[in-house]
Amino acid sequence: MGRNRSESSATMASIQSTAAASSSSVSMGGMMMNSSDMALYDIPLTSPSQQASSTNFEQLLHDLQSTSVDPRSVRKAACCAALIETVQERRQKNQNQQQQGGVGVSPNELFLATLAALTSLQGTLEQQVKQLRNDSTDSNNSSNEVETTALPLLEILRQILPYVAHPSNNHGALLLHQFGTVSRMLRMFVALGYAYTASSSSSTGTKKDNAATSSGANALLRQILKTTTMLLLIAPPPSSSASTNTQESEKEMAKLLHATIIRMFQDVRPKVRKAAFGCAMDVVIVASSSSSSSSSSSSNSSPLVQQRKVIADFLWEYCHAVITQYKSSGSKKNKNDSSSSSKNLIHILRLLSTALPYADDVRIRVRFGDDCLALMGGGGGEGGEVSMEVIRETLITLLSCLEKGEEDNNDGLLSSSMEDQEVGTKGATTDKEEEEISKFAARALAFLLQHRPNAANSSFSSAGDVNVVYGRCLMGCVERMLVRTGVESTLASKMLAMKLFPNVLTSILHLCDEAAEGDDGGAINSAEMCGTEFNQFVSRMIPIVTSYFSPDGTNSSNNNLQRVALEAISNCVDIIRQALKIQYRNAWGNILPGGYATFTSTLALNLLEMRGGGGGNSELEGKLQTWLKELVVSLLRLRDDVEKDGTARTAVEYATSTVMRGMGLELFLSLVDFTDDHVDIGDKKKKSLNTESGGGLWWLLPLMKQSASADASALASSSSMTTKSHLSFFQGRVLNLARRCDAASADGHRTAAEASIQKQRVVEVWSLLYYFCLHPIDMKENFAAVAKTVVKALGDHSRYPKLVPVICGSLKSLAVGVTGRAEANLSTEATEDLEVLSNVSTKILPSLFKLVETLNESQNTNSADDMDTDDKSSKEKQAIRQQNMQLVEAVTDTIGQLAQICPPEFLQNLFKKVVQRLLVTTTDAGDNEGDKSSKDTQALRMCSLLGLGQALVASGSLDDNSVSLLYRAVRPLVRSDEHDSRVQKRAYKVFAAICEKHKEFVTSEERLNEMTDLMVDSIVTCQVSARHMRLKCMTYIVQGFDSSNQAHMAVIPKIMGEVLLCLKDSNGKTREAAYQLLLEMAVSRDDMTDYFKIILAALGAQTSHMRSAAVMALSRLTFEYARNDMTVQSLLPSLMQTVAFLFDDSSREVTKSVIGFVRVCVAAMSPDQLEPLLPEVVGGIMKYNKGRDRFRAKIKIILKKLVRVYGYDTIGPLVPEKDSRLITHMRKLSERSARRKAAGLQDGQSVANNFDDMMESDEDDSDDGRTFMTGVTGFTKMTSMTGKSMKSAKNKSVVSGARSTMTGKSVKSTSGPRIKAELQGEILDMLDASKMAKSVRFADSNMDDNDFSDDDEMDDMQFDNQGRIIISDGLQKVSGDKGAVDDFDSDDDDENLQLKAGGGKRRRVSKFESVKVEKAERDAANARKQSKQSKKPASSIGSAYKSKKAGGDVKKKGQKYEPYAYVPLNAKDYSKKNRSNAVSKMGTVVRSNKRKR
């Protein structure tokens, strides 16, 4: 015994020294990673394989000895190494095991060593506790002892216990033998943990030391809980033959459970208490999963599984005992004891609410459910009353008892308490269990209906939560009674549930009334929460109840269920209508679009299914029709009652829109009568639903239009039944309403405004056609009649132009839907509908063709009248022409869609007529030499015919002969420029459609050569407006080129000049098309070296326009291919040297292109390629620094990129000496950025990944673009990152009054705003008045000048009453004693401006936007400025020659020029910002009288 004690002491000494040394070298800031222990719990249940067990144990030892940045893992590895070393030393001393010296450490050896170390440590800690009580030692020693030794040893013991209990390890005989020892040790450690806590609280040591001791004790208790849980769940049971041993084992386990886990249920420390709850949950989950897995494998007699169930039963019994004690001794306790027992009960109830869904026996849930009902009945508490907090936790626990199982945890009944728990697998419940839980649900439902908690009169802060949980419990009871099927005894439960269903619905609805009784905002939130429960109950339960509507004549029980269900729904209709009462107003925004609309839509779907299925119950359909009408009309009447209440009106309209989508427009319109003066509801007549222009139900039309114009797929996804409609209903009911509105608009007694309203209603009614075209089920009978009406409506486009896109969109939707259903072979009706639509399209297409011509002719009429009208009429006619163009586009799209389904013979004949008329019109236009009006008429007719041809080509329904005919007819229009530019543009559009839809026709050898020649020959006659479509045609043609065909490759140089010039076109679409064609030619050429040579030839062009375009083309090709194509990468140095010759070009556009090319190449070239060219590149771009100030920002971007790669030491000497300040300034900004990055204030970098951004952007990224400010808004990147919007008010403006960050400068508080908070690089929120008052001060205006400063001076930004920006005419003067406005280049709006402020020095102004704090200061400054100007007027031009004694000019001595002979003209004075000063000076020479009108 002495030898073992000495060995354990030696082991402890080794462990302590090793752990202390390791912990001293690692910081204590690590976090322990939480991992799942389910695999460890399952190890004792695995097959007894010695090899697998040893392999896993070796992996565990490796994991225990591995270290990371976490100091706990370091301590654990040190302790594990010390234990292994102790085991090996013990082996060497044991002579009988010398031959096994090479064998690894076994689980039993490591277990015994760990146990010995913990036993020795226990004695050490006991001595330290005694010393702590006597205040004779420092508490840090005990805290370090726990952290460095006790915690790692307990964790090691926890992880090796499953391998000690493995069946291959003698069935865990060692652990079974040592279980009592381990149990006593753990209980003693628990006592030590609490002793540490008590000692630290009563100790006289420092507060820091006491906190450390308390923290160590908390960690010790949590680790003991984990180890105890592992021991309880994996401890091997005793032999089944010894029942006495089994009882003793269970008694020992119960003692350990109560001394550790259960004891800490009531711990005052939340972390310890939560850890105890977590361990209890592990016990319940593992016991449940073990029982399920054993039952599935038919091995339910496993002793370990039974033992785990016994441990879980201990927990259930303890929870039941706590509840029973609270119920029985509620009135016998004083106030303090009652409060303590209530807290204990609440903790247990929270544990049960989480654990009960995992209970493996339904009887456990029923038992605790009965306990919850007894608690709500008044048991416990002071005087027999239960607090509202206890009621809430009781209801949550009751809801857990009603849970169906873990597979239903995501249904929302208890999502808040179960969403974070790990879900296991449970077997299906038996019929007996279902019967038992159903009976309990019935008892609970009856009890809850009679004992509703009075949360409204309670002072409990979470009273609204009580109502919410109460509603969930009601829903859980009803769902449990209704959903389960297949058991005869549950039919009575279903009958009872449906009989009580109206009562439950009433109770849940009344919760919204109770929650809305308060006056504060919390009442509204509580009403919304209760409304959400009402919505969930309706959406989940109503479909279940209505599912029993279908009768079964062979089963009397089903017939009884149908009868009870109908009675329940009949009562629910009246209850749902009660939600429209004013007492539920706070919840209308939730329950009307939710529960009310869902209830109505569910009944509507049942009615639609009965009608669609055929052979339905006419009596039941009549009842459903009556109920739906009551619900819909009641909702519509509520809208009239709350018309003046905006919030309530919005809720009603939203609910109405939801009802429309839920039941379909056809059913909704059948329930709402727009024509009758009275509508019967039951036996009473309500007020009139009139159709006058000022009120009635016409507010429904926009809602119906919105529902009808919704996406077809979205409507179809909601329900297939709601999208099915009858065209006969539209023809008879809807169009009748449109005719009435049309007749009302023609009534002479109405005003123009009333007539306009009626016309608008006609369009809104017609917009419902889209819905009826989604899935009509009577096309065969009624589509022909509807088509005639549609054709007539299109003919009335002059009065109702908005009907054209409505009708065309509906027809297009109809064609797409019918074609899709026919291709899917859904039914024979779909094929018949396609045939009907194909036949009727022969009557619709000619009308659409005629409509296109009519619209084009009306455009010509309007253009002919423009010469004789004023500006206003011209604008109106221009708007009409624009509208007609949009209508033509809508009609041609419909023609293209219908052309795909019309008969081929008809389409060919129609196409031939179009081509024939096109040829005739083209011939007449060539022979006609009449006036301009006739030419415009013919041009418009040609455009309309070409548009029709384009639509037919786009449909893809034409054969090759028809396409060839159209090609021959359009070719002369492309080749000639005698016609209007619109004709040629439309001809190119037809060509583009042919190339896109009929690629085989274009790519044939003969046709490709012919079209190529046509494109090359027609370059001279191409109109400017047709360039875009011409380039698209050429792109399609080039895609068909063969790189091995020399004739094809010879075309590329011929068209290259046109493509390059189009890169500089003013139209953005043309430029983009040219770039795409440039890239396509590169792909077709398949030789980048030769391709670049073709483009480089343009660098020698005579015009700067062509040279600039060539450089832009090189830039785009480099941008696209340099990263991936090694050939292009190798060509970059030579390209750079070639383009460098243009550095001396004097053209501004060439300069811009060259700088853009250099910027792209610097980003694309490797450092080795670019380094030899640095002198040439840097020297070339610096030539533009002074002469072309507008490019200084781009130059700085290039220089910064070069500096990033090569450094300042390499780039600095290459910059001319006169520009050395630029490099100095950039170096300072770089250092400042590095400091900001080190301080964690980096804002991020902006990288130009877009070619246009890289070529056009002038933003200086030397400071990552943070201070780049736009000239219009004054916003910077820092402004956008704050998420703040610039707020404006009257007489307030945004000015640039703040300065940039200064380093090493002292700032005096004199004049000019200075932002103090930005001195350290912080970003100040200038919209915060409190921060601005503390941060804004005034700085000295005398500061040094810098030629490359990033500071800018912007005009004040002012706003009018509507929030619109007021743009001033120019730059305002800055007043000062001696200073004036300095000269600057107006072209460089993005660069740095410096303004003189007096004293011979300049004041530097940053780009940060600022807001002046006091309006009075601005007003005072303006007043002083006006007074000075009134006393001393501005000097006028020629004042030096003016005579003081008489009028006219005189010649004085010393004058350089003759009087009135010279007026100095300075370009800087007439820039955008100085223009106002120049105008004021010129006003002294030229009188600025206002123009007479």
Q: What tens digit of pLDDT does each residue of 1158-1174 get?
A: 988 988 888 888 888 88
CA distance 48 to 170: 9
Cβ atoms 743, 683 nearer than 8 A: no
* Residues linked to residue 1449 through DSSP beta bridges, in sequence order: 1442
Top-confidence residue, 128 or 452: 452
Answer whether residue 102 shows pLDDT above 70: no
Answer whether residue 471 shows pLDDT above 80: yes
Q: Residue 108: CB partners within 8 Å, gap ≥ 6? A: 164, 169, 174
Answer whether residue 1317 shows pLDDT above 50: no
Top-confidence residue, 486 or 166: 166
Answer whether residue 1146 shows pLDDT above 90: no
Q: Considering only CA atoms, which of 894, 840, 844, 885 is closest in space to residue 862? A: 885
pLDDT score of 548: 84
Answer whether residue 303 shows pLDDT above 50: yes
User: Coil, strand, or helix at residue 1043?
Assistant: coil
Answer whether residue 1085 shows pLDDT above 50: yes
Phi, psi torsion values for 1386, nearest 5 degrees: -70, -20
Q: What is the DSSP string of 877-930?
A: HHHHHHHHHHHHHHHHHHHHHHHTTS-HHHHHHHHHHHHHHHHHHHHHHHH---
The mean pLDDT of 881-898, rounded to a whole number, is 85
CA distance 831 to 822: 5
CA distance 865 to 845: 31
Answer whether residue 1005 shows pLDDT above 50: yes
pLDDT score of 1279: 41
pLDDT score of 684: 39
pLDDT score of 27: 35
Q: What is the DSSP string of 170-211?
A: GGGHHHHHHHHHHHHHHHHHHHHHHHHHHHHHH--S-HHHHH
Instruction: At 845, list the tokens.
Output: 């297409």
pLDDT confidence of 554, banded at 50, 70, 90?
Answer: very low
Burial of 466 (0-12, 13-18, 19+ CB in 10 A): buried
Q: Considering only CA atoms, which of 431, 427, 438 is closest in space to residue 401? A: 438
Answer whether residue 260 shows pLDDT above 80: yes
Phi, psi torsion values for 681, nearest 5 degrees: -125, 105
The mean pLDDT of 424-448, rounded to a whole number, is 74
pLDDT score of 1012: 82
Task: Kindly report which listed range (700-714, 1111-1125, 1361-1375) carries the lowest average pLDDT score.
Answer: 1361-1375
Provide, rounded to the nearest whole percent, the portion of the chain with pLDDT above 90.
12
Provide, rounded to the nearest whole percent, the portion of the chain with pLDDT above 70.
66
Express each pLDDT in 576-598 by its tens digit: 999 999 888 888 989 999 999 99
Distance from CA of residue 97 to its chain's centroid? Answer: 67
pLDDT confidence of 317, banded at 50, 70, 90?
Answer: very high
CA distance 963 to 956: 10
Top-confidence residue, 1076 or 1355: 1076
pLDDT confidence of 38, banded at 50, 70, 90?
Answer: confident
Top-confidence residue, 829 or 415: 829
pLDDT score of 1260: 47
CA distance 228 to 81: 24
Answer whether residue 31 shows pLDDT above 60: no
Residue 626 has, within 13 A of its CA and on its CB side, a CA count of: 13
pLDDT score of 1403: 40
Top-confidence residue, 1139 or 1413: 1139
pLDDT confidence of 1431, banded at 50, 70, 90?
Answer: very low
Top-confidence residue, 1143 or 55: 1143
Express each pLDDT in 1179-1234 by its tens digit: 888 876 544 456 778 888 888 888 888 888 888 888 888 877 888 888 888 888 88
pLDDT score of 1473: 67
Question: If you search the block for the tokens 């939203």, which residue do you land on?
Answer: 654
| Average model confidence (pLDDT) across the chain | 74
Q: To the nearest 10°, the Cα dihedral for 830, 836, 841, 843?
A: -160
Question: If you search the block for the tokens 């009868």, which residue do you land on?
Answer: 563
Cβ atoms 894, 848 nearer than 8 A: yes
Task: Kindly report which listed range (1123-1132, 1325-1334, 1421-1430) carries the lowest average pLDDT score.
Answer: 1325-1334
pLDDT score of 1429: 54
CA distance 93 to 16: 22
Answer whether residue 1292 shows pLDDT above 60: no
347: number of Cβ within 10 Å: 18
pLDDT score of 202: 57
pLDDT score of 25: 38
Answer whether residue 1097 shows pLDDT above 70: yes
Q: Considering only CA atoms, which of 327, 355, 352 is closest in space to residue 341? A: 327
pLDDT score of 483: 77
Quick one: CA dihedral 487, 490, 492, 497, positive or negative?
negative
The mean pLDDT of 168-176, rounded to a whole number, is 84
Express each pLDDT in 211-231 by its tens digit: 555 677 888 889 999 999 999
pLDDT score of 1250: 64
Q: Write the secondary structure of 579-593 as one string of H (helix), E (strand) and C (coil).
A: CCCHHHHHHHHHHHH
pLDDT score of 1299: 34
pLDDT score of 708: 74
1201: number of Cβ within 10 Å: 14
Express each pLDDT in 779-830 by its tens digit: 889 999 999 999 999 888 888 889 999 999 999 999 988 888 888 876 788 8
Residue 331 has, within 13 A of its CA and on its CB side, a CA count of: 5
Express each pLDDT in 1337-1388 by its tens digit: 444 434 344 333 333 333 444 555 544 555 544 434 333 333 333 333 333 3
